[in-house]
Amino acid sequence: MFSEDTILLLYEITDVIIAGLSTGSVYALMAVGMTLVYGVTKAFNFAYGEFFNMGGYFAWILIFGLGLQFGGYLMILVIVMPLMFVVGYGLEKLLVAPLRKRQDWENKVMMLTLGLSLFLSSLYMVVFGVSMKSLPPILDGTLEVGQLVFAHQDIMIFIMSLGGILLFGWMLNNTRIGMAVQAVAQNPEGAKIVGIPQARIFAATFAISTVMVGFGGILLSQKWFINPNSGGIIMVKAWVVTAFGGMGSIRGGLYAAFIIGMLEAFVGWLFGMSYGIIALFILLLATLVLRPQGLMGKGE
C-alpha cells in the first residue's frame, strides 16, 4: 500500500516525535519551576539555566568523581535533590532577600541573577573544563514494537519528569507548605495577616524551583551533554515555554512545553539543530504580539 520510502519517512517522523516528547516533558518540568518562582515571588531568575547544569554536574561528580556504584539514579536523586534545595534556599536568603527592601528591586534582582549566572558558568568552566561532560543513560536498551524502536532512556525521562510534575502538583494542593505558597501568590498581604512567614515561603519557592530545574538537568543531561556555556540558552527556552503557556498557569506550561519540544525536534530534523533557537525566538515574538497572556494565561 505504501512505498518503501514513505514507510521509512514515517519511521523517521516517529523518532522525531519521540525525541520531541522526551525533551518536551523536561521543558515542562523547567517551565513549571519558572512559572512558580516568578508567579509567587516576582523575582526573575536569570541563573535558572545554571541550576540546570548544576544538577547535571552534581550527578556527574557522584558518578565519575566519587564513583557511586550502588542504587543508580535513584541514589543520585536522593542525594542531589536535597542538595539543590539547600543551594536554592541559601542563595535566596543570601542574595535576593536583601534586595527586596529596595526600590525597583525587580530590576536589581535581574542584574544580580545575571551576574550569578556569569559567575556560575565561568566557575563550571574553570572547575570542570570547557569540554562537555556526558552522563550514562538511566536505562540501557531499547523497546521494540514491531519495527518501531523506543530507547528505554526516552521512556524513563518522559515518565520521571511527568511524575515530578504530578508530585509537585499534588504538593501544591495538599500539603501545608504548598497551600502557603498558593496563599502568598494570591494575596501577599492577606497571607501575612494570617501568619504565613512570607520571607520563608519566598526562599522555599525559590528552592523548589531550583530543585525542579536541577532534576530536569539530571534527566536531560543524559541525552544532551552538560555544557558549561549552555545556561543562557536553557534559561531562554524555559522562559519561552513559560511565556507561551501563560504566566502562572501550570497546565498551560505543560501544553506549551510539549508543543515547543515538538517544534524544536521538527525544526532540528528539517533544517538543522542551530535553527531551533531561532524558531523559538520567532515563536516568542509571535506569542507576545498576538496573545501576550500566553496560551492559557489569565490575561489582564
Partner 1 sequence: MRLKHMAIIIGVCYGIMAILPIFVGDVRFIMNILIMCLIWAVVASCWDVMMGFAGIFSFGQVAFFVMGAYCSGILAINHHVTPVLSILIAGLFTAGMGVLVGLPCLKLAGPYVALVTFGVHMALQPTLRGEIGIALGSGGSVGLLTIPPISMFGYTFSSANIVPTFYLTLLVSLTCALIIMFMIKSYWGVAFLALKDSQDFAMSLGISAFKYKLMVFALTSFLTGIIGGFYGHFYGVLSFRMLDLDLFSILMVMMLVGGLGHFPGAILGSFLVVAGSELMAPLGAYRAVAMGALVVILVLALPDGVMGFFLKRSANKIV
Least Å distance, CB 99 to partner 1, is 7
Contact residues for 203 (Cβ-Cβ < 8 A; gap 6+)? 88, 89, 92, 93, 97
Name which position in 1, 66, 69, 126 contacts partner 1 (CB under 8 A). Answer: 126
Beta carbon of residue 108, minimum distance to partner 1 (angstroms, whole number): 6
Q: Of the candidates 141, 146, 272, 299, which one interacts with partner 1 according to CB under 8 A?
A: 272
Least separation in angstroms between CB 202 and partner 1: 17
Residue the block writes with cell 525542579: 212
Question: How buried is 211 (Cβ within 10 angstroms: 0-12 exposed, 13-18 middle, 19+ buried)?
Answer: buried
149, β-bridge pairs: 144
CA distances from 209 to 58, 67, 79, 145, 275 (A): 17, 28, 17, 37, 28
Query: 129 CB contacts (<8 Å, ≥6 apart)?
Result: none
Quote the least distance from Cβ 281 to partner 1, whole Å: 5
Nearest of 136, 218, 163 to residue 28 by alpha carbon = 163
Phi-psi region of 281 (alpha: psi -120 to 50; beta: other; left: phi over 0): alpha
Residue 44 interacts with partner 1 (CB under 8 A)? yes
Cell digits of residue 130: 570547557
Residues 231-260 that bind partner 1 (CB under 8 A): 232-233, 236, 239-240, 243
Shortest spacing between CB 21 and partner 1, in angstroms: 24
* 98 binds partner 1, rule: CB under 8 A: yes
Among 182, 277, 293, 295, binds partner 1 (CB under 8 A): 277
Comparing CB distances to partner 1, the nearer of 21 and 114 is: 114
Should residue 13 be labelled a site residue for partner 1 when binding is judged by CB under 8 A? no
Q: Of residues 135, 138, 284, 296, which one binds partner 1 by CB under 8 A?
A: 284
Work out how close the CB of 89 gets to partner 1 at its nearest, in angstroms, rounded to a whole number: 17
Contacts of 101 (CB under 8 A, 6+ apart): none
Q: If binding is defined by CB under 8 A, does position 111 make contact with partner 1?
A: yes
Q: Pick from 80, 120, 207, 250: which binds partner 1 (CB under 8 A)?
A: 120
Residue 157, Cβ neighbours under 10 Å: how many? 26
Binding site for partner 1 (CB under 8 A): 38, 44, 46, 95, 98-99, 102, 106-108, 110-112, 114-123, 125-126, 229, 232-233, 236, 239-240, 243, 272, 274-275, 277-278, 280-281, 284-285, 288-289, 292
